[in-house]
Structure formats: C-alpha cells, structure tokens
C-alpha cells in the first residue's frame, strides 16, 4: 500500500512535468510573440473567417504583385480580441467573410512566422475598424474609428 502511495506521488510529478514540458508548444501563439511596436499594412483576401470567442481569428492571403510589400506576402493567421470587445468597436459577424478583400494594419510575429495581432482594418470608405480601444499614438486624423 505504501508503494501505491509512492507511485501516486510519482504520477503527480510526471503529470506536472508533462504540463511544464508543453509550455514551449504553448508559446506558439502567445501574445508575447508579436512585435507590438511594428505597424504593418497588409492588403489581401480573407480565406478563413472565424467570428468566435475567446478570440476572433481570420486568415488573410497576400499575393505577389506590383507595389506589394514583399514582407507581407503569404498566408497570415490574424488574431483579434474577444467577440464582445470587437463588437463594441463596430465589428460584426458579417464584417468579412471568406473571399472578401481586406486591408488591415497589424503587428507581425517577432520570429517571422506568419501570425499577426490585429490593430485595425480599413473599410473601403476609409473608416477604421479597430480591434479594441487602442488608437495610433501619432494619429492626427480624428473621427475615423467608429
């Protein structure tokens, strides 16, 4: 019976180790990996649209072309905030869907992998859909963010 106790304690330690070992895996889309100081503009097409809590996600395909910034080319995983927070900024489930063109400004991953933390999208009429209440520090134009 005492042996069972010792085994159980070992099991608990093994489980703990398993969880700790999974931390590097978990780091992939952690917030800390985005370069929050960089604002990059991406012009492409929405290929996947997930309007769901806890984070709105969509995939954007940026193709090669004249005038296209090379660093923005590729398929990007864009992460937004919660449905509740984005809805407050004017986003809806119908804001975009797969196949729609999109222009967005966001913060890319520091390690170069194709992830973006959404800052705002720019609608065809020029108004902005912000992800949350944060606004550009040097933004002189007023009244753009609904």
Partner 1 sequence: MQQFSAWVESTRLSQALFDTTWLWPACESLHFVGLCMLIGGAGLLDLRLIGLFRGLSIRDVKALMPWAIAGFVINAVTGLLFLIMQPHLYLGSAVWWSKVAFLAVAATNALFFESRLAVPALALAPDADTPRPLKIVGAVSLFSWFAALYCGRMLPYLGTGN
Partner 2 sequence: MAFFRSLQDSAFTDWFLGSSSIWTYPTVLTLHTVGMAILVGASFVVNLRILQVGSAVPPHRLRPLYRFVWIGFAVNLLSGVVLFVTQAADRVADPVFGVKMASIALALGFGLWVKRRAIDPPDAPHMTDARSRALAAAALGLWTVAIVAGRLMAYLKA
Residue tagged 């890319």 (tokens): 108
By CB under 8 A, the count of residues binding partner 1 is 19
18 binds, among partner 2, partner 1, none (CB under 5 to 8 A by kind): partner 2
Residue with tokens 């222009």: 103
Cα three-residue angle 114-33-103, rounded to 5 degrees: 45
Count of C-beta atoms within a 10 Å radius of residue 141: 9
Position 81 contacts partner 1 (CB under 8 A): yes
Min separation Cβ 22 and partner 2, Å: 6
- Run of H or E residues at 9: helix 2-21
State the minimum distance, in angstroms, from the CB of residue 69 to partner 1. 25
Q: Which does 11 bind (CB under 5 to 8 A by kind): partner 2, partner 1, none?
A: partner 2
For position 53 contacting partner 1 by CB under 8 A, the verdict is yes
Q: Can residue 25 be called a binding residue for partner 1 (CB under 8 A)?
A: no
Q: What is the CA radius of gyration of the chain?
A: 20
- Residue 117 buriedness (CB in 10 A; 0-12 / 13-18 / 19+): buried
The partner in contact with residue 132, picked from partner 2, partner 1, none with C-beta cut-offs of 5 to 8 angstroms by kind, is partner 1
Interface with partner 1 by CB under 8 A: which residues?
A: 23, 26-27, 30-33, 36, 53-54, 81-82, 84-85, 88, 132-134, 137
């Amino acid at each position: 019976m005492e042996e069972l106790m010792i085994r159980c304690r070992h099991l608990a330690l093994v489980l703990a180790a398993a969880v700790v070992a999974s931390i590097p895996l978990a780091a992939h889309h952690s917030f800390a990996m985005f370069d929050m100081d960089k604002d990059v503009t991406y012009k492409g097409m929405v290929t996947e649209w997930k309007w769901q809590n806890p984070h709105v996600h969509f995939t954007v395909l940026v193709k090669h072309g004249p005038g296209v910034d090379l660093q923005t080319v590729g398929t990007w995983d864009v992460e937004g905030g919660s449905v509740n927070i984005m809805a407050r900024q004017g986003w809806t489930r119908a804001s975009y869907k797969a196949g729609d063109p999109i222009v967005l400004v966001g913060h890319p991953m520091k390690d170069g992998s194709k992830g973006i933390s959404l800052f705002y999208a720019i609608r065809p009429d020029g108004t902005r859909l912000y992800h949350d209440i944060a606004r550009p520090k040097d933004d002189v134009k007023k009244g753009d963010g609904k």
